[in-house]
Amino acid sequence: MNLPFQIDLKNKVAVVTGGSGVLGSVMAKALAVCGAKVAILARNQEKINTVVSQIKKGGAEAIGISVDVLNKEDLINARNQVKEAFGACDILVNGAGGNHPEATTGQEYFSAPSSFDERNFFNLDASVISRLFDLNYLGTILPTQVFAEEMVDRKGATVINISSMNAYTPLTKIPAYSGAKAAISNLTQWLAVYFSKVGIRVNAIAPGFFLTQQNENLLLNEDGSYSERAEKIISQTPMERFGQADELVGTMLWLVHQQSSGFVNGVVVPIDGGFSAYSGV
């Protein structure tokens, strides 16, 4: 893996939730290349094993644990396994999260009576919205409760949360996901203040639009061409393309590295190709 720059994370222990996904796995591999011992926490053991194997082939140390980030006992057990294998956690990347198609509206704008014939704001399932909020918000809070407890007063301890451009301005169709990510940005600031006296820095990355397994059927047609929604996104992104997963790495390494960003605390960094800077005119 080619890094934009090298930092020394030797003897550091990194835990990455959602570490088997497209974005999470890239961040986990980058931490490993820099010398960290990496624990991949996710649901699908087969995907976890693939990422762990790739890290080990590169000569780094990694373990993978199947975990439900909404189950605190699961997380405590995972923490014990990580501690036994590598030691206490120094770096926590809260990468678990995602959207759900049943928490989205069929159209960008409500128009009576036609919008009543499809999924719309009025018939969104409360249980689906609740699960989505739990996955994104509680799925960040609970791992932080479990792993940050042993990070107190550890030199260079840091938490990286994953927010989204949705947190700045909500996107059409996805009210629940936008709200959940706004909550992550708010939580990041709250945690940064709360932990400021015990040496734990808390920051977040806010990716713009990256093609992942979760959104590819929303952004790509069956023939691989851009969907109407994807075309709209590209038209509002000054760099006129989607992001590549490895373009998150430089910001993550900067935020993780104490010497580079030791006085950076409570920020949410957009990585969006200029999307948030563009007014549309």
Closest CA to 96 of 159, 41, 148, 32: 41
The CB density around residue 134, as the number of other CB atoms within 10 Å, is 15
Distance CA 89, CA 150 (A): 7
Residue tagged 């932990």 (tokens): 195
| Residues 41, 134: Cα–Cα separation, whole Å | 17
- Supply 224's token pair: 């691989």
- 177 given a catalytic annotation: yes
Residue from 168, 177, 194, 226 carrying the catalytic annotation? 177
The residue to which tokens 């709360």 are assigned = 194
CA distance 276 to 281: 13
36 closest CA partner among 92, 78, 81: 92
Please list the active-site residues: 177
